[in-house]
Amino acid sequence: MEKIIDIEFIKNYFDSLPFKVAIMDRDQIIVAANKKFQESYGTWVNLRCHELCKNSKIPCLRCRVQNVFQTGETEVLQDSSLDTNGKMIFDVVVFSPIFDAQGKVKYVQEMAIPQKDVYHWENDFNVLFENSPNFITIIDKNYNILRANRRMTNTFGVLRGKKCYEIFKKKKQVCTNCPTSFTFEDGSVHSASQVGITPNGEKSYYIMTSAPVSFDEKGQVTKVMEIGVDITEINKLQEQLNFTHDFYGNLIENSSEGVIAIDKKGKLQIFNPKSEEILGWTTKRKPGIAQARKMLPPQFFEDFSGSEGSIEYYKTYIKNLNDDDIPVHLKIYDIISKNDIMGRVAIINDLRPFLEVEENKQRAKENAFREKFAIIGKDTQTILKSIRDFMGELNISFSNNADFQLQKQWNSFYDKTSEYLQTMNLFIKYAQGYSPRIELVDLNEFVENEFIKYKNTFAYSDLKLELNLSPEEPVINADIKTLQESVFVIMLHYLTYIQEHCAKITFRTFFNNKSIFFEIEVKCNESDIPEFSEGLSLSIISMISEVNGMEIKTLKIADEGLIKISLIFK
């Protein structure tokens, strides 16, 4: 009963196999066979294998069934047999043991694979071997190349019969750390990176993997397949990346500007030597993020916005290790790669050397004070002459029309004297030296406020004031107090003339050739417009221009009765 159960189990299992399979006992009687076997040889019940497959009464000389029963090891051979039609069949036959619960060989399985199928697999292997993009060779125990694929021969030339280390490395002995030598020793797969030399003398980089492909009767490896993956181009890219990394690393390390960078998680990644110098950092380790927050502005540590942009402070202050304020030019921007924020960088320019130069310049200005003050001489004479003239007119008025004319002349005298005094006071202020407070100024907002102020001043006159602001919203670095005084000096210079002869004043802002313009255009009813090319007013505006780093230009268009005074910011 037990035998019937075993046969049924084996039959159901092997019926699905695509090869001819039979199970035999020690007497070589077939106890089970699959459909493929029965289709080739017919009914098999109670027949011995040689009776069915060879039409012979005696066992085959090459049969391995009894050997497998004795050794318990699988054996393979090429053999032939006769099918039911008497046609010769050529197979590769695999004899393998089937053990019982006690570990003894109970049956032997005979699996016959048509040789044409085996040859088909071999052909597929050859196609794969020859056309693989990798380097492939078969090596014997003496490191002779028995076979090499097309990629190998195209790269290194004819190889058969030559030593692998002579061809690949141009050496006379086996390479150290050779994966093939390790495979010959232990029969395992090994890999190692290698550098070969092509016939042209160029270096070829590859990853070599060795695997056993043939063993002798003692189980020792006799042949090894070497498979090399060419990484020459990858290695070149790596070298380029290393060069780029070293290049920019050295650039950052030797930069004359402080460079501080954090990654997306807020960890400090770059803190170059110039940053250490500016912030007074003396230890070898980079400061922690908590220490960095004390020294840098909070904007540097704000959440990443997800959009590209930058913040620039032309002059701001950061704290050094001693909590001192350090004046710097600071620029903060995000590092973005393919719309993904990688980190944030602060570029720091120490302004202390520049401020020292400015201080030296300021001292030079003070030394030149006396020279500039000589300009007052000419205007002082004019003032004295005006006083004498007014006094003379006042004397005539007293004799002709004491009440009305006296009041009129006195008012005119008072106004003119006041204008001169204000102008002289401003000149003395800037000639003596002035320390500006530079900040970001919204020029449109500033001009609009000035426009409203002077519009109220001329509210009861026939003078028209117009405002024309740039839509580009210009922002400048300037001292707002000095800008207000520059407008005051210009308006004061033309005040009397404006009240008597001018029809319209336009305040205008615009961009031109990357410069920002604030233009005051005065349109008059008469062509004889006073010049703005000498005297105290121009001297004051020139000194204000130096303070704010701006340029002043005047343009007189006599035919149109126009004069334009432009304050230009770079």
**Span 439-569 CATH architecture:** 2-Layer Sandwich (3.30)
How far the first Cα of the chain sits from its last, in Å, is 107
Dihedral of alpha carbons 559, 560, 563, 564, sign: negative
Can you say whether residue 301 is alpha, beta or left, with left for phi > 0 and alpha for psi between -120 and 50 degrees? alpha
pTM of the full predicted structure? Answer: 0.35
Tell me what percent of the residues of the chain surpass a pLDDT of 90.
10
Displacement of CA 437 from its chain's centroid (Å) = 38
Res. 353: pLDDT tops 60 = yes
Is residue 13 scored above 50 in pLDDT?
yes
Q: What is the pLDDT of residues 374-415, one digit of tens each?
A: 555 456 556 656 765 665 565 556 555 555 555 566 556 656
The pLDDT confidence band at residue 126, using thresholds 50, 70 and 90, is confident
Higher pLDDT, 305 or 221: 221
What is the spatial distance between Cα 280 and Cα 4, in angstroms, rounded to a whole number? Answer: 93
Q: Which CATH number does 2-119 carry?
A: 3.30.450.20
CA-wise closest residue to 545 among 464, 478, 445, 500: 478
Give CA angle at 130 (129, 136), nearest 5°: 60
Q: Give residue for tokens 């107090």.
A: 481
pLDDT over 70, % of the chain: 79
Q: Is the pLDDT of residue 248 over 80?
A: no
Q: What distances in angstroms separate CA 44 from CA 1, 52, 69, 111, 310, one per listed residue?
A: 20, 7, 21, 15, 88
- Chain CA centroid to CA 252, Å: 15
- For residue 537, give the nearest of 507, 480, 492, 499 by alpha carbon: 492
For 7-16, 21-30, 193-202, 454-463, which range has the lowest pLDDT when averaged over its residues?
A: 7-16
CA–CA gap between residue 486 and residue 543 (Å, rounded) = 10
pLDDT in tens, 260-294: 888 877 787 888 888 887 888 877 777 777 777 77
Over the stretch 78-118, which tens digit does the pLDDT of each residue have? 888 888 888 888 888 899 999 988 889 999 999 888 877 66
Long-range contacts of 28-33 (CB under 8 A, 24+ apart): 28/59, 28/63, 28/65, 28/66, 31/3, 31/6, 31/7, 31/107, 32/6, 32/7
| CA-wise closest residue to 478 among 515, 428, 439, 424 | 439
What is the greatest pairwise CA distance in the chain? 169
Specify the DSSP class assigned to residue 314: E
Give tens-digit pLDDT for 461-495. Answer: 778 889 999 998 889 988 899 898 888 888 877 76
Highest-scoring range by mean pLDDT, 32-46, 360-374, 547-561: 32-46
Please tell me which of 238-252, 326-340, 350-364, 522-536 the model is most confident about, judged by mean pLDDT.
326-340
The phi and psi torsions of 283 (rounded to 5 degrees) equal -80, 160
Of the segments 139-143, 154-158, 296-300, 433-437, which one has the largest average pLDDT value?
139-143
Instruction: Give residue 1's pLDDT.
Output: 40
* Whole-Å CA distances, 122 to 94, 127, 171, 221: 17, 9, 34, 21
Residue 10 CA neighbour count, 13 Å, CB half: 21
Element (H, E) at 499: helix 495-501
Supply the angle between the helices 402-431 and 480-493 in degrees, to the nearest 10. Answer: 140
CATH superfamily of 255-350: PAS domain (3.30.450.20)
Per CATH, the architecture of 132-235 is what? 2-Layer Sandwich (3.30)
- The dihedral region occupied by 442, where left means phi > 0, alpha psi between -120 and 50, and beta the remainder, is beta
Contact by Cβ (8 Å): 30, 47:
yes
Distance CA 92, CA 531 (A): 115
Give the whole-angstrom CA distance, residue 58 versus residue 54.
9
Tell me how far apart the alpha carbons of residues 38 and 412 are, in angstroms, rounded to a whole number. 136
